Structure 1
Amino acid sequence: MSFNNLDTLYRQVIMDHYKNPRNKGILEEDGSLTINMNNPTCGDRIQLTMKVEDGKVSDAKFEGEGCSISMSSASMMTQAIKGRTVEDAIKLSKIFSDMMLGKEYDEEDLDLGDIEALQGVAKFPARIKCATLAWKAMEKGLNEDSQ
């Protein structure tokens, strides 16, 4: 597949998650974690709610507003972490962070799925914070929960 076709495909995946977000909403269950974060630079904001049971992220939802990058990244992230162990969710976040910084990452370690569509964001340093907002919220919530 040519680079232009791949770029177009990635844009389509990002826009699909933006227009049809997965896991949009708030978990109202007792014991769910709630993390609020924002990016004051561009105004993106997110409220992430997660349910952790037996060391696994059993559910995750988000609410918020922002650009297509931040909202599609939140959609992809919630899809990717549901059913994973806390350890794997944090590991996936580190891989995502490395991808955003243009660093080498081990694709074999964990399947990134739609998340790979965001790798082009690394070319636009001002947009990296948009893409990582939901991921930072997830890490913060899981790290605080484990203490």
Structure 2
Amino acid sequence: MEFDKNDPMFLRQIIMEHYSEPQHKGLTKKTTAHSIHQASESCIDDIHLELIVTDEKIMMARFDGVGCAISTASTDIMAQELEGKTIHEGLAIIDNYLAMVFDKPYDETKLNELIAFINIAKQPNRIKCATIGICGFQILLLNLLNTNNKK
């Protein structure tokens, strides 16, 4: 699907769809899930993230909690992007997204719906919102990678 990054209404629509009807909200609370809690000290964002990984493949990415439209939508879209990927592929997706958010070189062809956050770099007060869930997923994946490398 082609995304028009120059159409603010289209970008806003992606965000609002994932905010009002997140597809990856709700934790499984399975004992095999890897989880982390992320909370902002400056706003409402307070979420729990969960990954289920089998043989270094992300089988399920979930989240739950309270968040603004930006944090909820970015976390939901990232969960969507991570499922079915390997740990390394997931980390590459996250690195590319964070590069965009922090106004560094990135590959927009690999962002899919994450392109909706293309203008976040111009809104420094929203960067934390757009990264709180993503950084949680990143921490979980890096921990899994480190654990697997020690085996």
Which segments of 5 or more consecutive residues in structure 1 lack a partner in the other structure?
none
What one-letter code is carried by the residue in structure 1 that aligns with 2:43?
Answer: C
1:69 has 2:70 as partner? yes
1 CA distance for matches of 2:5 and 2:82?
30
In structure 2, the residue matched to 1:133 is: 132
In structure 2, the residue matched to 1:87 is: 88
Q: How does 1:27-106 map to 2 (within 5 A)?
A: 27-106=28-107
What one-letter code is carried by the residue in structure 1 that aligns with 2:69?
Answer: S
1 CA distance for matches of 2:5 and 2:139?
38
1 CA distance for matches of 2:5 and 2:78?
27
In structure 2, the residue matched to 1:117 is: 116
Query: 1:106: how far off?
Result: 2.1
User: Are residues 26 and 2 of structure 1, via their aligned partners in 2, closer, same or farther at CA, if it must alter by over 3 Å?
Assistant: closer
What one-letter code is carried by the residue in structure 2 that aligns with 1:77?
Answer: M
Query: 1:120: how far off?
Result: 1.3
1 CA distance for matches of 2:68 and 2:5?
27
1 CA distance for matches of 2:5 and 2:125?
26
TM-score, scaled relative to structure 1: 0.92
- The count of corresponding residues between Structure 1 and Structure 2 is 143
Percent identity, aligned pairs only?
32
2:48–2:63 Cα contact (<8 Å) kept: yes
Computed over aligned residues only, the root mean square deviation of the Cα atoms, in angstroms, reads 1.5
TM-score, scaled relative to structure 2: 0.89
Query: 1:22: how far off?
Result: 1.3
1 CA distance for matches of 2:29 and 2:125?
34
